[in-house]
Structure 1
Amino acid sequence: MPNNRNESKSRRKENEQPGHLATPCRSGILRSLDRALRGVALPTILALTGLATASVEDVQAATVKVAFSLNWTFADPKLAQKWFGNVKTEFEKKHPGDTMELIPVPGTYDDYITKLSLLYNSPDTKPDVVQYFDINVGQFAASDLLSPLDDKVADAPWWKDTPAPVQASGKYDGKIYSVAQGINTYGILFDRTLTKKAGLPKDWKPKSWNDILDGARAIKKTSPDVSPLYVITGTAQGTFGVVAGPGLLLSASSNPTIYDPETKKWVVDSKGIREVLDFYKTAASENLLAPTSQIMDPNGTTHPAQALHDHKFGITFTGNWIPLFWGKDICAPCWDDKEGTIGFSEIPTAEGQEPGIGASFNGVVLSMSKNPSDPELVWSAIEIMQAKKNLLDIAAWVAVVPATASLKTDTSYLSLTREPFQKAFAELSATSRSMPSQAEFPIWGNAFQQATQAMVLKPETTIDEGVNILRSYMATQVGEENLETLP
């Protein structure tokens, strides 16, 4: 769930505990011995080990460093600090003598990814655990910065309870490099006060993209002072905006393929890509879209919370976090009776083709960095973060759908907001697609944003010209030989 509030006030705290650097062999043995003997009387330890003359200080405690976005992932920076503070307390209680060093990184999500990359430049600043979105797993795995987790997750109950598509979103080159804490799913929210005036049914369910455009046209006629249709695009929103905007539509198109795993090439022209470009072009040319100052704003994914509350948007493509914004945990703004005013619909496929609905999803995930000084201790930290209570807090404070099947039906999650929102957005995970894990996906995403943005800013742009924007940018970045056209 994106959040950009209070970025200008955010400051990274100075580390109070320096990281411990030691040879893996010696430090690992000492720490293992230290944990094995904790709780045993000191005279007994000395007698058993013959170390009566050795200094106890030779056993050095370990520090696990955890990096996270202060301003983006959680609904509020205070919630991010609270959640990781709780994890730190649990970890240090479970491992007396060891510490967890928290590394909050301020800024937008793309700022966070840039700063995270810089942290990896030095062993003194390299984190052991990172929390980020699955759309960047390939970028860090391809740079050889992450540890494969296949052996670690094999016996984890929460991993076995994670659906296969969500598991797969953390894979790169056949190996698991991240585990999901929750996912964002996407659907349509519509204002019944506006759709009723437009003659649409109370529980409107569009069957194609033309139905959506027709609904927006009807709202424009009967409520000329509102924005009939809200769907984001634009490079200012970064990689996250691809999933919530152009990539979201592409996932419901006639051909949603972005990367062809058989040819290992990037798709830059297809029926699906052309359908998406045409949707933006049509909506823009008929003045159905919200102002570009909103749909192209870096904070574009959060605008619907206030605008729907104020009856300013008719039909909105948005994520599961918006209804949670209205709930008691986030309250931005507080809205108790939204269930009677706001309707929900799945996103239909472009022409109503099977399976009838489609969408994208992205996950909040954890990764372990390559060669941590104490892999078992780092994994223990991840296990704590994946505990039921902590994941339910993630669902409430990050505003995501739980990644595990059992938590999607847990009463604590379902009670975060009333029907239909929690259950409806959770059920979308069965028909949603993740973005490719390849390291070049952010490049492709930026190119697609450029193409759809051109359709909005200059609706006279032809579909062929839009396709050429995508192809040309990708050709300069990854090479023409790595591109292909699909039907």
Structure 2
Amino acid sequence: MRKRTRRAAAAAVVAGAGLALAACGGSGSGGAGGAAELTISANAVAGGKNTEEAEWIEDWVIPRFEAAQAEAGVEVDVSFEPSGVDDEQYKTRLALDLQAGSGPDILTLDGIWVGEFAQAGYIEPLPEADWEGWRHIPEAVARLATWEGEVYGVPWGTDGRVLFYHKELFARAGLPAEWQPRGWDEVLAAAGQLAELDGVTPLQLNAGTAMGEATTMQGVLPLLAGAGEEIHDGRAWTGASDGLLRVLDLYERVYGGGMGDPVLQQEAQGRDRSFEQFAEGELGILVEGDYFWRAVVDPEGGTAPMENRDEAVGWALIPAAEPGAGVGGQDFVSMSGGSVRAVNAAGDHPELAHELLLFMNSAEALTAAVEGNARITARTDVNERVLAGDPMLSFVADEVLPLTTYRPPLAEYPRVSVLLQEATGAVATGERDAAEAAEDYADGLEDATGGGG
């Protein structure tokens, strides 16, 4: 666990810098030895994985930050450490570097890693600062970078889960073109009407281990939030609770009632196949993230392009089980993922590193990052500009992000996620009923988490 004195010292150093992005300099230098050296790390590489992010860092962030510092009389040399590997490989490599007391000054982390890195002392809470950016980051989104009530970085990109529905199939089934269910029963009622159409799967609710994390993020966790619970309540993991039983019972109703395809849930490429079915007019309702809209059914360049996407695809908020039954008494719920940028607690130039962190998350910087490839950022002011021409992404930014929830940033989470996938898979295939699957999950939870929170 991090030491309080170390954190206080870091806070004092940064507070002395003022963290005024407008000044953008004057808080540190290379001293007699020459330029201060800073490094930025991300799992991105030009021409490969997350190429847009890599190019933005190399071509926009670095030259502009160095120029701004030079104008303020500070000589700084910023470099980028690219990577293009599996996320877990990137995480392991980064953790090993930080454990050795080295590593980059600016880290790009998946939000679910924040707790682990904070507990290890690799990152420290950001000091309080009058940074204009916080006024434009919703409280729900700021939780992506929060651990035990303290903020450890700045979230920069996020997303949201919704119900997508096929308007043409809805019309054929006598369902409204503008649809917003207010409870699970209304979703099932619509699926029941779609079931009357030949060759149509009414509802895709990801289940099983073949779907991987998509089962947890697009299935279990938003439904659990709709039942008024989260998978970790801040103290302990949720076991075979009433909420989890309700979720698994819903899976039983969907797959046992012929409203979903249990075989699809077991296929290695089942999720991709569900995308194709929706695009081909063979699937009515799909629980997915905004990725589906911007990267799957995008008419230009999508993996399952829909020429008539803008006319045929509808979207709605995910309802709680009943109005007011969601977490915090919400009527609607969602789940979001996203990335966080944080500062290496052992860096040589903490003042400059914090200035660079805020510079990278300024409105100007994030606008440049998503130019030509509109996607949801953590900042409402940027979203208002860059998403103005996209009604679906604007809907997520405006309606979903204020009510969304996030996965717990704990090291045990991936193991818990697999247990949830196994439970849903067993129910979807009819191997276990909801109560039995919940009991199996609870038995596995003890081993997966060591019985702790």
TM-score interval for Structure 1 and Structure 2 normalised by the shorter chain: 0.7 to 0.9
The DSSP-based 3-state class of the residue aligned with 1:268 is coil
- Checking the alignment, whether the CA contact within 8 Å between 2:192 and 2:202 is kept in structure 1 is yes
Displacement of 1:373 in angstroms is 0.8
Rate the CA distance shift 1:150–1:199 in 2: closer, same or farther, 3 A: same
Q: Does 2:129 match 1:140? A: no
- Partners of 1:440 and 1:292 in 2: how far apart? 29
- Checking the alignment, whether the CA contact within 8 Å between 2:375 and 2:393 is kept in structure 1 is no
Amino-acid identity (%)? 21
Displacement of 1:324 in angstroms is 2.4
Q: Does 2:89 match 1:117? A: no
Gaps of 5+ in 1: 1-23, 25-34, 40-55
- Partners of 2:373 and 2:439 in 1: how far apart? 37
- Checking the alignment, whether the CA contact within 8 Å between 1:229 and 1:314 is kept in structure 2 is yes
Aligned to 2:134: 159
- Checking the alignment, whether the CA contact within 8 Å between 1:324 and 1:330 is kept in structure 2 is no
Displacement of 1:161 in angstroms is 2.4
- Partners of 1:299 and 1:100 in 2: how far apart? 43
Rate the CA distance shift 1:36–1:180 in 2: closer, same or farther, 3 A: closer
The DSSP-based 3-state class of the residue aligned with 1:269 is coil
Rate the CA distance shift 1:175–1:299 in 2: closer, same or farther, 3 A: farther
Q: Does 2:153 match 1:178? A: yes
Aligned to 1:451: 423
Q: How does 1:1-400 map to 2 (within 5 A)?
A: 59-70=33-44, 77-85=50-58, 86-95=60-69, 98-124=76-102, 126-151=103-128, 154-224=129-199, 226-235=200-209, 242-253=216-227, 255-261=228-234, 264-290=235-261, 297=268, 300=271, 307-325=277-295, 332=303, 337-354=308-325, 355-394=330-369, 400=375
- Partners of 1:166 and 1:70 in 2: how far apart? 23
Letter in 2 for 1:407: V
Gaps of 5+ in 2: 1-9, 11-24
Counterpart of 2:414 (choices 438, 442, 446) is 442
Displacement of 1:274 in angstroms is 0.9
Rate the CA distance shift 1:448–1:395 in 2: closer, same or farther, 3 A: farther
- Checking the alignment, whether the CA contact within 8 Å between 1:392 and 1:413 is kept in structure 2 is no
154-163 or 328-337: which moved more?
A: 328-337
Rate the CA distance shift 1:75–1:436 in 2: closer, same or farther, 3 A: farther
Counterpart of 2:386 (choices 391, 412, 431) is 412
- Checking the alignment, whether the CA contact within 8 Å between 2:163 and 2:285 is kept in structure 1 is yes
Rate the CA distance shift 1:185–1:478 in 2: closer, same or farther, 3 A: same
RMSD: 3.4
Q: Does 2:405 match 1:433? A: yes
- Partners of 2:27 and 2:41 in 1: how far apart? 30
Rate the CA distance shift 1:405–1:449 in 2: closer, same or farther, 3 A: same
- Partners of 2:396 and 2:147 in 1: how far apart? 30
Rate the CA distance shift 1:297–1:372 in 2: closer, same or farther, 3 A: farther
Aligned residue pair count? 419
Rate the CA distance shift 1:373–1:283 in 2: closer, same or farther, 3 A: same
Displacement of 1:135 in angstroms is 1.9
Rate the CA distance shift 1:329–1:460 in 2: closer, same or farther, 3 A: closer
- Partners of 1:105 and 1:298 in 2: how far apart? 26
Displacement of 1:275 in angstroms is 1.5
- Checking the alignment, whether the CA contact within 8 Å between 1:236 and 1:297 is kept in structure 2 is yes
Rate the CA distance shift 1:378–1:299 in 2: closer, same or farther, 3 A: farther
Rate the CA distance shift 1:268–1:436 in 2: closer, same or farther, 3 A: same
Rate the CA distance shift 1:438–1:77 in 2: closer, same or farther, 3 A: closer
Deviations 1:173-206 (A, max 9, x none): 2321121113211111111111222221111222
- Checking the alignment, whether the CA contact within 8 Å between 1:220 and 1:288 is kept in structure 2 is yes
**Radius of gyration: which is bigger?**
1
